[in-house]
Structure 1
């Protein structure tokens, strides 16, 4: 299976039914994508496949053949943060931080599809990403700020 991860071409010849999450963490060494529930319900493992937010714990290697995958490590450009990442920091969104990579990836997908979402659209888009610390208002504020940037 050939695909790209954060712009880099890679090949994988292992188990086609292995979740993408395990490839990213265990083989590629990209530990920014987190394991949460393993059921696709919490959003901690969210990455982009061809620009769309997906749960990597429920996406199998055979499903990413020929795809472009972006992880949290590839969201920015080197030392240059995106407007969303800047807003995240400026609004002190992270508390424990565990869910944040998935939250950021989901928010980035939302803003790529809808650059000026309403509060209701933000809540709807982010609904499947759980934050046990309850930073939802800060998340919404950061997304609004990034949309206005």
Structure 2
């Protein structure tokens, strides 16, 4: 028995036949669709390396059954930049050395984008740290990550204000 689902992934509709309803969104992205930017860390929802945005909200894709997201809009790290132009969060991570080994970086960036889109970041470093606490960095780049999220929030807010003026 197969389970047909349709997802919009990074702006492109993808129709997929699942042979097993237990396939996670993470495994679908990595193994079937070859979008390997989303990382499999703990595979238990504890590290945040697999964070993607589903319908604009942050989720741990290792805990999400793909079949339960039929019809959803999924954004992965591969869909964040626009050609050669980095997303402001990506640029801020580079500017603030918000990465070391880089394994957690895609999940950190996706979580930061979600946090900013959810209007949760504000300008309080402690609030950012709390809201990003579901994403672990074994290298300890937390100070750079926090600074990057704060800068990206400021830059995106300023850009939105210029557009609406």
Of stretches 76-85 and 43-52 in structure 1, the one that deviates more from structure 2 is 76-85
Q: Distance in 2 between matches of 1:9 and 1:126?
A: 29
Report the counterpart of residue 159 of structure 2 in structure 1.
Answer: none
Partner SS for 1:23: helix
Is 1:27 the counterpart of 2:32 in the alignment? yes
- Number of residues of Structure 1 aligned to a counterpart in Structure 2: 149
Higher Cα radius of gyration: 2
Deviation at 1:93, TM superposition (A): 1.4
- 2:13 paired residue among 6, 9, 15: 9
Report the counterpart of residue 125 of structure 1 in structure 2.
Answer: 131
Q: Distance in 2 between matches of 1:8 and 1:16?
A: 22
- 1:36 paired residue among 41, 45, 60: 41
TM-score of the aligned structures, taking structure 1 as reference length: 0.96
Q: Distance in 1 between matches of 2:126 and 2:97?
A: 22
User: Which runs of no fewer than 5 residues in structure 2 stay unpaired?
Assistant: 156-165
TM-score of the aligned structures, taking structure 2 as reference length: 0.87
**Segments of 4+ moved more than 3 angstroms:** none
Report the counterpart of residue 145 of structure 2 in structure 1.
Answer: 139
Of stretches 113-122 and 91-100 in structure 1, the one that deviates more from structure 2 is 113-122
User: Which runs of no fewer than 5 residues in structure 1 stay unpaired?
Assistant: none
CA RMSD of aligned residues (A): 1.0
Deviation at 1:135, TM superposition (A): 0.5
Q: Distance in 2 between matches of 1:109 and 1:52?
A: 6
CA contact (8 A) 2:97 2:141 kept: no
Report the counterpart of residue 49 of structure 1 in structure 2.
Answer: 54
Deviation at 1:116, TM superposition (A): 2.8
Partner SS for 1:2: strand
